[in-house]
Amino acid sequence: MLADLLPEHRVSGVYHDAYHLELLEYFCRYAAENEYKPDVIILPINMRSFSNERVQRSEYQFVREKLFLSNRGLPFASFFRPLAVLRAFDLRPISEKEYLDIENFDGSVRLGTFREIQNLDDDKRLQLHLRACYRYQLDDAHPHVEAMARIALSCQDAGIRLIVYSTPIDYERGDAAIGPGFSTGIRRNLAVVESTLAKYDLELLNLTFAFEKDSFAHDSHPDAYIRSAGKLFVAERLAETIRGVN
């Protein structure tokens, strides 16, 4: 969609719903060190991605991908299999038991472990799940915030323009489910992202609250899956930013 709006540019991307900033750092570093580096890198920020629910989930660790991206080249690819057989690398993500035993917090208020939360009735489980996913306490020492800072520095050093935007969230259904604290928690954490980017003279393109609930795909719970018209709006805003149109 973005490529259609920017016919004068060659647009390509790395796409996966669960790719997070620590993994994207490897891709950005690869691009920055490449002889044919891009002029622009667009970095999406999903505010849920900083939560334990995403950071710690075993299927979102991408251990193998990180290993290959940090050890590029034919020699490593050639020796990877025999080294893996000899268990030279620890490719095991966090176990399901370890994940379920992780504690979650709404600010400083303990919500319970994932195991405790999943054993609650539907309504209570949804409320605590949303609080864990969106009302965690973010700070600049979070591994993903630190990764974002390194991405910004890497692009700065390589002369690559970095555009960072926060993806839309169905805040109306979130506020309806747990109260206005849903939105205030997100705004509080967005401020950490914005202050980190400001250190590198970058401004966040904040699209988190860009859409009302009818623009999202699911009616039963808040999510980040926007309908086609919303996707076009986001693409248009990114195209305008790339062209330097305010």
DSSP one-letter code for 214: G
- Please tell me the number of Cα atoms within 13 Å of 142 on its side-chain side: 22
User: Residue ranges of the chain with pLDDT lower than 70?
Assistant: 15-18, 61-92, 245-246
What distance in Å separates the CA atoms of residue 62 and residue 56, rounded to the nearest whole number? 11
Q: CA end-to-end span of the chain, whole Å? A: 20
Token code pair at residue 30: 């690869």
Spatial distance between the Cα atoms of 39 and 10, rounded to a whole number of angstroms = 10
With both helix axes pointing from N to C terminus, report the angle between 63-70 and 74-85 in degrees, rounded to the nearest 10.
140
**The pLDDT value given to residue 65:** 67
CA distance 138 to 51: 9
User: Residue 212 half-sphere exposure, CB side, CA atoms within 13 Å?
Assistant: 1
Helices and strands, counts by H and E, the chain: 12, 5
pLDDT at 103 (0 to 100): 97
Distance, in Å, from the CA atom of 11 to the CA atom of 132, rounded to the nearest integer, reads 35
Q: Which domains does the chain have, with CATH numbers?
A: 2-57+140-243 (3.40.50.1110), 66-92 (no CATH)
Report helix, strand and coil shares of the chain as percent, to nearest 5: 55, 10, 35
**pLDDT for res 79:** 45
